[in-house]
Amino acid sequence: MASRMKPAKGITTLAEMKEFAGFSSATQRYIRRSLDVGLDREDAMTRWSRDVVEEASIRAQARLYQGLDDVRELLPEDAGLGGADRFLGKLVRLAAFDLGQGRLTSFSAFRFLYERLAGADVRPWLPSAFCAAAALPHLHPELRRKLLQSISEAAATASG
């Protein structure tokens, strides 16, 4: 029997740091802010709001991110459709908010954030949630086009 080898933690960490470094400064800032809000770290309002508009955005994000616990709890145990509607509905709602902020401008940035917010087990569900949220009419058509073109065929068709 062949066993699957996992990469060493140090190599994985370096790859994640390299991926994060490849994002724009605005995307990096939004990911850090979102992790502080979503994982209830520090006072995100004090740390991240630069003006009243950003303060309102963080408040809205904090309200929506209260649904992260539901997303984690409703995560289907397999790739079957049982329970997928409730889970994906909540995940798409969160994704629609984050994509609507205009700071996550690619699938890779979205995946980077959501693997940390909801855990690695959410990975197989991220392409469908991303595509659903990126296609919603609340986004400007140009942003929708950019987002949907950012997901590679390999990411969109990856097995669960």
Distances (CA, A) of 4 to 22, 142, 154: 29, 42, 21
Number of domains in the chain: 1
Cβ pair 149, 130 in contact under 8 A: no
The set of residues, in sequence order, having a beta carbon less than 8 Å from that of 134 and lying 6+ positions away, is: 99, 144, 147, 148
Within-domain flag for 84: yes
Query: Is 13 part of any domain?
Result: no
Is residue 60 a contact partner of residue 41, using CB atoms and an 8 Å limit?
A: no
Tens place of pLDDT per residue across the chain (160 aa): 455 666 666 777 788 889 889 999 999 999 999 999 999 988 898 999 999 999 999 999 999 999 999 999 998 887 677 778 899 999 999 999 999 999 999 999 999 999 999 999 999 999 999 999 999 999 999 999 999 999 998 888 877 6
Dihedral sign, Cα of residue 150, residue 83, residue 100, residue 144: positive
122 domain-assigned: yes
Total count of residues recorded for the chain: 160
Domain membership of residue 7 (yes or no) is: no
Q: Which domain holds residue 39?
A: 25-156
Q: Is 8 within the bounds of a domain?
A: no
pTM here is 0.88
CB proximity list for 97: less than 8 A, separation 6 or greater: 60, 61, 64
CB-based contact 117:39 (threshold 8 Å) = yes
Query: Does any domain span residue 18?
Result: no
Residue 46 lies in a domain: yes
pLDDT value for 1: 45
